[in-house]
Amino acid sequence: MQNPRKKIILNEILFWKQNKLLPEQYCDFLMTLYSEGNEIESEEEISHKKAVKAKEKRNNILLITSLSLVAVVLIVLLFLMTEAVWIMALITGVVACALTVGAFIIAKKNALLAPILQVLSALLIFGLSVKVSLTYFADNLLVLYSLLIANCLMWLITGLKIKLMYFTISGVIGLVILIGYQIIIWT
């Protein structure tokens, strides 16, 4: 807005609206009248919106960092524990399920957070599959390969169903590597 007088008047009307000195409809009418139909935002509203976005961004980064750290710690503990493996497997499975459910709930609100939760969940399920295979079926490689193929198929189907390119690519690459490895071993 070029005219400083109009800016002063509009700020005053905004003040009246915020402090309920005039009914909201009157303030909206006066603001539209003085702004000649243009959208008006005060400097306070602009700075408030920027502060809210910055706070949301900090919260997202903190949440992503903490969840990633929890996932890494769970995977490390899962592979380091030799006794009471089932307890760690149970905890990892519950966290993976919680991340999956959380991803679907948050997907509508936060487009950045949902994929990270999905990837963390997939990695936890993958680690859990490998640990279960190595612990309970150590001498049977067929079980390990079957679980690896099942994980890759799960990623591929999830990627195609929900239209997530990174899961589709991961599933295809995983299947190609597993099939290529089997072909190399058999020859």
Say how many CA atoms lie within 13 Å of 105 toward its Cβ: 6
How much is the pTM? 0.68
* Residue 129 φ/ψ, nearest 5 degrees: -60, -45
Closest CA to 169 of 131, 128, 122, 132: 122
Rounded CA-CA distance 25/28 in Å is 5
Encode pLDDT of 93-152 as tens digits: 999 998 888 888 877 777 778 888 889 999 999 999 999 999 888 888 899 999 999 999
SS3 160: helix
The tokens 């929900």 sit on which residue? 162
Q: Is residue 42 part of a domain?
A: no
SS3 of residue 7 by DSSP:
helix
Residue 132 and residue 143 in one domain = no
89 plus 163 within the same structural domain: no
At 8-56, the pLDDT tens digits run 888 888 888 887 788 888 888 888 888 776 765 555 555 555 555 667 7
Residues 162, 95 within the same domain: no
- Residue 47 has what pLDDT? 56
The one-letter code for the residue type at 105 is I
Which structural domain, as residue segments, surrounds residue 179? 137-187
> Is 46 within a domain?
no
Domain tally for the chain?
A: 3
